[in-house]
Structures are given as C-alpha cells and as structure tokens.
Amino acid sequence: MPNPFKPSFGVSPPLLVGRDDLLDEFAEALEDGPGSAARATIYTGARGSGKTVMLNAVEDRAREQGWVVISETASPGFVDRIVRQHLPGLLRDFDPGAVRRRLTGITGPLGAGGATWSAVEAHLADAGLRNQAALLTDLLAENGAGLLITLDEIHRNQIGELRELATTVQHAFREERELAFVGAGLALAVSDVVNDEVLTFLRRAERHHLGSVGREDVARAIREPVEANGRQLADDVLAEMVEGTRGYPFLIQLVGARVWRRHPSAPEVSMDDARLGVTDALRRLGSLVHEPALADASDIDKSFLLAMARDDGPSKMADIQRRLDVDVNYASQYRLRLIAAELIEPVRRGYVDFALPYLREYLRSHAAAEM
Ligand SMILES: Nc1ncnc2c1ncn2[C@@H]1O[C@H](COP(=O)(O)OP(=O)(O)O)[C@@H](O)[C@H]1O
Ligand SMILES: [Mg+2]
C-alpha cells in the first residue's frame, strides 16, 4: 500500500485540517469584489506550520472560482519572472488579436496588423508589470474572473522587487481591479517588510498566524487517509499518534508516514507501530526542523534558549534574566527577537515558552555539543 502521508515541505497533505475558516474567508473575499479586505492576505508561521500548503490551498480555491493564478517565491528575479513568463503566458491564452489591439492602445502601435506572438510578447515585457496586470485583469473581468498572485517566503532581501510588485498591486486595488494577493513568510521577515514605507498596502493586509492544530483536527488528518487507504486504526492507537504530533502540522505528516511504513500491508495499525513510528519521527525532527530554524540564531539567542531549556514548562522571564546575568532591558530585547523569529512565544504575563514542538528536548540533548 502506498504511503498516503506527505512529510515534505511544500507538498500538500492528503487532508488539510484546521484551516477551513481561513480558506472560506479568502474565497468570500474573491466573491465580495474589489475592496474586500482579505484580497490582500499574509500568512505567517514557523517552519512546518503549513504556510506553503496554505498558499496551494488558496490557489485551488481561486481556480475553483475561475480565477487564474501566478504562484511565485520571493527569490531574486521573481518580478522578472512574472513580467516575462507568467503574465505573457496567461495573456497568450486569450484571443491574441484582442491582446494586440489593447496593447497597442496602452503602449502605442505594435508594428503592422499581423505582428507575431513573439513580437507581442516582447512588447508585453516592455509594457511592464502594471500594464500587463491591467490588461490581464481587464480581459479576465469580462469573464467574471480575476488574477491571484501568491508570493511565498517573503523576505527583506527582496525588498526592491517587493516594492515593485506592491506598487502594482496597490494601483490595481485603487483601480478596483479583480486582483488578489496572498503572501507567506516567517513573522519576523514579514514584519521587517511590512514596516517599509512603500509597502503600505502590505501593512493593511490581513495577517493570519498559522499555529498548531487542535486534537480533533489532528485525529481526522491521520484517521481519514489511513482508512481511505484500506487500513484500520483503533482509538487508543490514534490517540498515541495524535499525542506525538503536539498539533504541529509537519509532525502530522511525519508521524503518519513513519507509523504507516512500519507495516504498510497490515490491515490494522498496531500500538507498537504507533509508538515506534512516533519515536522515529521525533528522531528526524532535529535535522528537518530544529537545526534549520536555529540556523539564523545568534550566540546570544542560543544562550537565551538554553537558559529556557532548563525549565520543564514555560519559563519565567525573571529566571532567564538571572541565569544569563543580564538586565531587564537586555533580556526583553532578546525576548522580542526570539518571538519574532517564531522560536519562542509569550504564554502569560512574564512567561515565555518554546514555539516549536520538542525544541526544549532538542536543545537539552545538544546543549553540550556543537551549538
Ligand atoms: N493543516 C494541515 N494539515 C495537515 N498537514 C499539514 C497542514 N499544514 C501543513 N501540513 C503538512 O506539514 C508540512 C509542512 O507544510 P509547509 O506548508 O511546507 O510548511 P511551511 O511552508 O510553513 O514551512 C507538509 O508536509 C504539509 O503537508
Ligand atoms: Mg514553506
């Protein structure tokens, strides 16, 4: 039996749980028309919280409503890819004659009557992002549809290109075009970008933090794919797996996959499979999640985290401050940095806890070594 679970970043799960409200909110914004708030949305969340697969899901929702989608990642050259590949490609799907006529209206004559598509394409690239987006949304609007642009891994490094895209999106909003924008990134990266003066529309965008998923939803995300693939799962076995995930989306898939593969052709998942599968999944979590999440942390960030790891539950700020032998301001500055980096989160007044599951255990077992 093929393994139904998908423990890979960016790969949509067999069942996406706990996000229906957000998806409905987005779909409604497309129906509601220009000016609807959720037509500019940003999802934030730690590594493995499901940002990329949320983008996949909103793209699917948009397509269901007949919209066309440009899906990009904020790596160098993304605006160029939109201008030279995505937009001309989408425009090509329309009546080329209509595109040619309108383009001539925007940018001036385009050679003699029978310009080839490659001439049109070159002209389109020169017309730029804003003109192409205007042209496409005009054509789409005639069919009651629009354009969704998604941008994954928003980061300050691409601030110049982000400004270019943001300016176009902002204009399109002002002109009440059928256009929507959904971005995703770590909260720290997003707040860096959102505070840029030029990117005002991003500041006004709806921001949603993708956190952990409730037990009921986790149970469904595991049970349904298992049963749909012909195997049974007793309640206590399922509970063991649910417990192991701690509601962390990536672990839903990793636990599911590692448990499944123990005996893929057995009619029932055993308690033994569940326990050993969870252990196996947790062993892999360090290199898949904790190590990369800590890659940008400074030495001081790490000492702060290690000071927290001495507690079995949430840490009191006063204790951390004492353990590090620093003053209140210093400690609270690092607290803010680590919250923004989605490594820790405030739990109640004066307390913080780890934001990634099993990070405490990881830090404890690596404290002496290379950290
Ligand atoms: N709501 C969810 N329900 C079930 N699995 C999920 C959910 N969200 C994410 N996943 C799974 O978690 C993993 C990480 O998702 P991804 O979108 O790549 O995270 P991010 O982009 O935030 O790092 C993927 O294997 C994905 O299938
Ligand atoms: Mg991602």
Token reading at 168: 């176009």
170 plus 204 within the same structural domain: yes
User: Which residues, other chains included, contact 126 with Cβ-Cβ below 8 Å and sequence gap of 6+?
Assistant: 107
Ligand 1 centroid vs 233 CA: distance in angstroms? 22
Residue nearest to atom 8 of ligand 1 (CA): 50
137: pLDDT strictly greater than 90: yes
Summarize pLDDT for 169-228 with one digit per residue, the tens.
Answer: 999 999 999 999 999 999 888 888 888 776 777 888 999 999 999 999 999 999 999 999
Residue 342 belongs to a domain with what CATH number? 1.10.10.10
Listed in order, strand segments (DSSP E) in 245-331 are 268-269, 315-316
Identify the domain containing residue 205 by its residue range: 20-209
Q: Do residues 205 and 41 touch, judged by C-beta distance below 8 A?
A: yes
CA 288/CA 3 separation, integer angstroms:
19
Ligand 2 centroid vs 8 CA: distance in angstroms? 10
Is there a domain that residue 2 lies in? no
Residue nearest to atom 9 of ligand 1 (CA): 50
Summarize pLDDT for 263-311 with one digit per residue, the tens.
Answer: 999 999 999 999 999 999 999 999 999 999 999 899 999 999 999 999 9
What is the total count of domains within the chain? 3
149 plus 247 within the same structural domain: no
Q: pLDDT value at position 370?
A: 53
Q: Which atom belonging to ligand 1 lies closest to the Cα atom of 18?
A: 1
147 plus 98 within the same structural domain: yes
The CA distances from residue 259 to 235, 236, 289, in Å, are 15, 14, 19
198 plus 172 within the same structural domain: yes
Mutate to test the pocket of ligand 1, among 212, 253, 356 (most ligand atoms within 8 A of CB): 253
220 plus 311 within the same structural domain: no
Q: Look up the pTM and report it.
A: 0.92
Q: Which atom belonging to ligand 1 lies closest to the Cα atom of 250?
A: 12
Q: pLDDT value at position 126?
A: 84
Ligand 1 neighbourhood includes 201 CB (under 6 angstroms): no
